[in-house]
Amino acid sequence: MTMTAKLDALIRISNQKKYKAFLYDCDGTLADNMDAHKAAYVEAAGRHGLALDPAIIDELAGWPTVRIAEEINKRYGATLPTREFAAEKSAIFIENYIQKTLPITFVVEHLKSHLGKVRIGVVSGGSRNTVSKTLTVIGLFDTIETLVCAGDTARGKPYPDPFLLAASQLNVAPHDCLVFEDGNPGVQGAIAAGMDWVRIDQINP
């Protein structure tokens, strides 16, 4: 399926209802960087003597990095210092990968085509520093009206809290928001928030 066909399909889906706000995930939704994030997790874990299966990052896509570190400890019986590990992983990603980040073209074009028509927010499980840099690299930072990141709410995805905060900041009711995601935790959060959602990695013609 071509990028043009995917964009057309995404526009059709988002036009099925008169939404007032679009809330996009960043990593894996706007930014084509999930392989880079997985590599950074694997490298950070390796520095602690842990051979990490990167599939866990796909499974937990959207979780805050600290919570992913906690889950790694739980599954591997490890003792990673979670906050230090999260900072280390972010530093690896920023130093080695972030400047190479490319956009997911059809999602970025969808966002740009709706500027000034609906409110635009980004809701991510990443740190504000990393997400802001990522959005800058792909040329979107100045287009975003609100940005909700790890630590902005007591609970992150898959809980509804980040989505509800973004809707509140945009002064839009949850049922008037459409969420764009690439992972199950984000979809669970959107559903819990009473919002419609789209899995951009499952777009069909």
Q: If we measure between CA atoms, which residue out of 102, 172, 170 comes closest to residue 140?
A: 102
d(CA 123, CA 157) in angstroms, rounded, equals: 9
5-57 pLDDT per residue, tens: 999 999 999 999 999 999 999 999 999 999 999 999 999 999 999 999 999 99
The pLDDT, as a whole number, for residue 205 is 58
Contact between residue 24 and residue 123 where contact means Cβ atoms under 8 Å apart:
yes
User: Which has the closest alpha carbon to 143: 24, 62, 36?
Assistant: 24
- The string of pLDDT tens digits covering residues 94-104 is 999 999 999 99
Q: Is the pLDDT of residue 204 over 90?
A: no
- Specify the residue for token string 């009473």: 194
Closest by CA to 26, choosing from 160, 126, 96, 165, is 126
Mean predicted lDDT score pLDDT of the chain:
95
